[in-house]
Amino acid sequence: MYQGDIFTLTRKAGIAELEINTPDSPVNVFSRKAIAELSQVLDVLEHAELSGLMIVSGKDSFLAGADIKEFTDVFSSGGEAIAAHLTPNIQNFQRLQSLPFATVAVINKLALGGGLEMALACDYRVADTGARIGLPETRLGIIPGWGGTVRLLRIAGLDTALEWIATAKEASAADALKAHVLDAVVAQDELRGCAAELLRRCAQGEMDYELRRQQKNQPLALNPIESGLAFESAKAFIAQKAGRHYPAPLAALEAIREAATKSALEAAESELAYFIQVAQTDTAKALSGLFIADQALSKKARQWQAKASVKTAKLAVVGAGIMGGGIACQSALKGLPVALKDINQKGIDLGLQEAASVLGRRVEKGKMSVAALAEALTRIQPTLNDQPLATADVVVEAVVENIAVKKTVLADVEAQLPATAVLSSNTSTISITELATALTRPEQFCGLHFFNPVHAMPLVEVIRGAKTSDDTVARAVECAGALGKKAVVVNDCAGFLVNRVLFAYFAGFAALLDDGVDFTHIDAAMVRWGWPMGPAHLLDVVGLDTAEHAEATMANAFPERMGRTNPSPTTILYQAGLLGQKGGKGFYCYEKDKRGRPQKTPNPDAVQMLNIQSTAKPDDETIVLRMMAPLVNELCRTLQEGIVGSVAEADMAMIYGLGFPAHRGGVLRWVDSIGVRQFCEQLNTLRQYGPLYQTEPMMSELAEQGASFYGSAATSATLNPSH
């Protein structure tokens, strides 16, 4: 009946089957082309004599929604362009909903965003038992734009619509069935039979699909008191969870509120108005850009993983402190057996305690059963001897951050390993090339840098030393994936990518403190800007001893920018015996309130030692620029030097490794949002603060060309093929 590049329409015994199959993409998405084709398909369907239509996917999943890759340009082109982008599919779905016969969406594996919106425009929806269903648009900083707020509300009711849309929930098939979003859940191979049966019953008048259409077209008869309460409590929940940098969930709530009392057509109009509003925010542009950068990172990881000669079946961790225990715990959680080795029982106990407390918190939060916790713990094999190392595929050394100790331990461990094993170090700053000089198989050695706390931080840096082989990198990336982590491959240098950039940021912090600015004032400004915590709090969490050590390494490696002429704030506090959060005192004092919740208050000793003058109170904009400029500059340097392969990887590493605010889309995407030229002009005003604030050549060149980090082929593409 119709054959396009994406849609194929066939008929058999009065029933039409519309198959979606986006070429050159592992999942089906609604690109402009798909939307235009669907309109042609509807031309055919509207004039066909049929008793029903089922919509199926030619891939192993149904539909992942709108093509997010088209968003960045559209969202920057103004309200009219956004409306023009959305309208054709709004019309398509209205036409689909009005076809003169019953329609069923046959959902295999997933229906997300516009994919579910298409299914909601059908009369019935059936899905396989493993399917995931949802409207995750708010995760992208937008709201559903093709009738999702209107139809989900009418089909599933207010509570489900609010919960699913505002929290971007992906529901299981069973939950979607309970919520009346699905009509049947069956095994994968029974899906078409189930859909055909529904269409047969409609054709024979046993089921009335028209009733469903009426329900979708009418306003809802809501109890004003109950619905008022539901909206207000959802609003309070959203305000607390999303915060002011994420306007989409609240916009979704308002769209739903309006959709409830309006006709379907009017409701669709107000949905569009809210969509246009949020799509133009910096957050929407940043979050859709972030999705693409994240996919690029995952794709690269998949390419590496495919090259790994051996898949990790057993891990070993040497050095059972907080980090070692955290890595072992993560391994156990992901079902990977792990030996946890230390030279003394105290170390083992500390590592096991760390693992048990992380898993215990999962149980408390209802994320894990007690039985699953017990099973996970059996995967950790504590050991004081080297024997279990002989069967490990990958070993992570996580002993004290001291080059001599690490070299000795690594050489000892290497001697115990099978010839095929990959050996890695979890060092956070020490050169991998330098550590490799202690080894006989340096090509099988790399850095595998986890972040603290291991279970919560998504990033692992895979560090390639001068002699590390491609297969070792591939196996390390594969191992990181098996541990549920996002891997970014970086070349060796002091601090690698993340800590090198972080310590430039801390150098900016030290410079502000040198000017007498109160650290609580700086922390508050950076939190308002979106960081999960300010730099003083972060230094306390890292530990002032650890930070002092790393700072010294960085000062040694990059004396011109990070060299310490005066004792830095970290050094001053550390030398006064303060360790930060773990010792109860650092920049702040850490205590628990009556309910046992941690409280932090500025430490008066720190205020005095650092000679803080409460009169120096630069505004937020100045603080953010003075803090961020050294970070941006250093990130540019890592790109120029080929430490990191691409702008997207650099940005994702900052988000996953440092907690850089996601709504800004990444450090370099944030600079792009200001404009590279404008950012350089702002930097010029800070020259008096020294080398940390000298604009990097890469940025100056982009500024001269009027280009951006993501817009320039030279910076957004992979710079260094060795990545």
Q: Which window, 60-68, 205-213, 385-393, 582-590, contacts ligand 3H9 (CB under 6 A)? A: 60-68
CB 694 within 8 A of CB 687: yes
Q: Residue 298 interacts with ligand 3H9 (CB under 6 A)?
A: yes
Question: 286 or 389, CB closer to ligand 3H9?
Answer: 286
Shortest separation between residue 617's beta carbon and ligand 3H9, angstroms = 42
Question: 271 or 492, CB closer to ligand 3H9?
Answer: 271
Angle separating helix axes 264-279 and 79-97, nearest 10 degrees: 150
Contact letters for ligand 3H9, residues 568-607 (x by CB under 6 A): ----------------------------------------
Question: 299 or 617, CB closer to ligand 3H9?
Answer: 299
Contacts of 486 (CB under 8 A, 6+ apart): 297, 298, 301, 458, 459, 460, 480, 652, 656
3-state secondary structure of 383: strand
Q: Residue 490 interacts with ligand 3H9 (CB under 6 A)?
A: no
Q: Residue 68 interacts with ligand 3H9 (CB under 6 A)?
A: yes
State the Cα angle at 467 between 466 and 471, rounded to 5°. 120
Q: Which window, 67-75, 400-408, 526-534, 676-684, contacts ligand 3H9 (CB under 6 A)? A: 67-75
- ω into residue 453 within 30 of 0, thus cis? yes
Q: Residue 144 interacts with ligand 3H9 (CB under 6 A)?
A: yes
List the one residue from 52, 141, 148, 657 that touches ligand 3H9 (CB under 6 A). Answer: 148
Sheet with 52-57, edge to edge strand ranges: 2-3, 7-12, 15-20, 52-57, 102-107, 124-128, 184-186
Q: Which window, 135-143, 260-268, 416-424, 686-694, contacts ligand 3H9 (CB under 6 A)? A: 135-143
List the one residue from 15, 54, 93, 114 that touches ligand 3H9 (CB under 6 A). Answer: 114
Question: 287 or 629, CB closer to ligand 3H9?
Answer: 287
CA distance 691 to 465: 28
List the one residue from 9, 53, 54, 67 that touches ligand 3H9 (CB under 6 A). Answer: 67
Q: Which window, 20-28, 37-45, 51-59, 304-312, contacts ligand 3H9 (CB under 6 A)? A: 20-28
Shortest separation between residue 723's beta carbon and ligand 3H9, angstroms = 16
Q: Residue 145 interacts with ligand 3H9 (CB under 6 A)?
A: yes
Shortest separation between residue 239's beta carbon and ligand 3H9, angstroms = 23
List the one residue from 113, 319, 508, 630 that touches ligand 3H9 (CB under 6 A). Answer: 113
Q: Which window, 99-107, 109-117, 621-629, 696-704, contacts ligand 3H9 (CB under 6 A)? A: 109-117
455 is an active site residue: no
CA distance 564 to 628: 19
Question: 63 or 606, CB closer to ligand 3H9?
Answer: 63
3-state secondary structure of 205: coil
Q: Residue 487 interacts with ligand 3H9 (CB under 6 A)?
A: no
* Cα dihedral 46, 49, 54, 56 sign: negative
Shortest separation between residue 167's beta carbon and ligand 3H9, angstroms = 14
Structure tokens at 180: 């009346």
Structure tokens at 120: 């909601």
Selecting among 85, 245, 449, 455, the annotated active-site residue is 449
* Cα dihedral 603, 604, 609, 612 sign: positive
Contacts of 215 (CB under 8 A, 6+ apart): 154, 155
Q: Residue 324 interacts with ligand 3H9 (CB under 6 A)?
A: no
Q: Which window, 98-106, 137-145, 213-221, 680-688, contacts ligand 3H9 (CB under 6 A)? A: 137-145
Structure tokens at 381: 């094999």
Q: Tokens 């890292």 map to which residue?
A: 542
List the one residue from 140, 152, 417, 578 that touches ligand 3H9 (CB under 6 A). Answer: 140
Q: Residue 249 interacts with ligand 3H9 (CB under 6 A)?
A: no
Q: Residue 66 interacts with ligand 3H9 (CB under 6 A)?
A: yes
Q: What is the DSSP string of 460-502?
A: EEEEE-TT--HHHHHHHHHHHHHTT-EEEEEE--TTTTHHHHH
Q: Residue 137 interacts with ligand 3H9 (CB under 6 A)?
A: yes
Residue 593, Cβ neighbours under 10 Å: how many?
Answer: 8
Structure tokens at 326: 């955290």
Q: Residue 117 interacts with ligand 3H9 (CB under 6 A)?
A: yes
Q: Residue 649 interacts with ligand 3H9 (CB under 6 A)?
A: no
Q: Residue 299 interacts with ligand 3H9 (CB under 6 A)?
A: yes
List the one residue from 6, 29, 507, 692 that touches ligand 3H9 (CB under 6 A). Answer: 29
Shortest separation between residue 696's beta carbon and ligand 3H9, angstroms = 30
- Phi then psi for residue 587, to 5 deg, are -60, -30
Shortest separation between residue 67's beta carbon and ligand 3H9, angstroms = 5
Pairing of strands 380-383, 338-341: parallel
Q: Which residues pair with 599 in a beta bridge?
A: 591
Q: What is the DSSP string of 252-307?
A: HHHHHHHHHHS-HHHHHHHHHHHHHHHHTSHHHHHHHHHHHHHHHHHHHHHHHHHH
Question: 72 or 312, CB closer to ligand 3H9?
Answer: 72
CA distance 474 to 296: 17
Question: 26 or 58, CB closer to ligand 3H9?
Answer: 26
Question: 82 or 668, CB closer to ligand 3H9?
Answer: 82
CB 147 within 8 A of CB 153: no
Q: What is the DSSP string of 556-585?
A: HHSHHHH--SSPPHHHHHHHTT--BGGGTB
Separation in Å, CA 147 to CA 75, 283, 631, 663: 19, 22, 42, 25
Q: Tokens 């994320």 map to which residue?
A: 367
Q: Report how many residues bind ligand 3H9 under the rule CB under 6 A.
A: 26
Q: Residue 69 interacts with ligand 3H9 (CB under 6 A)?
A: yes
Contacts of 408 (CB under 8 A, 6+ apart): 438
Residue 59, Cβ neighbours under 10 Å: how many?
Answer: 18
Q: Residue 112 interacts with ligand 3H9 (CB under 6 A)?
A: yes
CA distance 68 to 163: 23
Shortest separation between residue 3's beta carbon and ligand 3H9, angstroms = 24
Q: Which residue is nearest to ligand 3H9 (CB)?
A: 113
Q: Which window, 21-29, 550-558, 643-651, 684-692, contacts ligand 3H9 (CB under 6 A)? A: 21-29
Q: Which window, 1-9, 63-71, 243-251, 374-382, contacts ligand 3H9 (CB under 6 A)? A: 63-71
Binding site for ligand 3H9 (CB under 6 A): 25-27, 29, 64-69, 86, 110, 112-114, 117, 136-137, 140, 144-146, 148, 295, 298-299
Catalytically active residues are 449
